[in-house]
Structure 1
Amino acid sequence: MDINYIAEQLKVLGHPVRLTIAIGLLNNECSVTKMSEVLNMSQASVSRHLALLRNFDIVEGKRNGTQICYYLKDPKIAKMVKSLLEE
């Protein structure tokens, strides 16, 4: 276990937009186009956030025709995000 890498993952998830993306991907795969509509942000901005999430192995994309659909890659991250939402 690399504690520094885990700390960096948590920093990346500490941004409200990236945390919102992770929450949105808990149960659904989603394209950049759909995320930009839901978040009311440009596709370029959403793509920059996704790039950080990809770089830290939090999300991964798979090609679906002409679009890439993103999903949470790490089940531990998914479990942590779910636990943050529990009351």
Structure 2
Amino acid sequence: MEKIRELISLLESGVEDYDAQLKVMQAERLKYIRLSMTNGFGTEEGDSKESWLLHLKQLEDALTLRRDSIRQAIQQTAEDIQKEENA
């Protein structure tokens, strides 16, 4: 039962972090769309279209990694519980 409690705690914080990061990514996508519509991209490294695309890709990759980590924690806990039950 302790492993389940630990997993619940981990999931709560992980899902909260995921949701916060998802909101950031959605806001950044909206900024990108606005810049695309107004052709407002700059020519400097930090504000060029390519920089924005890289930034969005990094945000998406971070979300995927976070989601995969949560999934892996669930699977690992399930395996540990099964091992304990079979022992």
TM-score in terms of structure 1 length: 0.34
Q: Of Structure 1 and Structure 2, which has the larger fraction of its residues in strand? A: 1
Larger Rg: 2
The structure showing larger relative contact order (alpha-carbon pairs under 8 Å, at least 6 residues apart) is: 2
Q: Of Structure 1 and Structure 2, which has the larger fraction of its residues in helix? A: 2
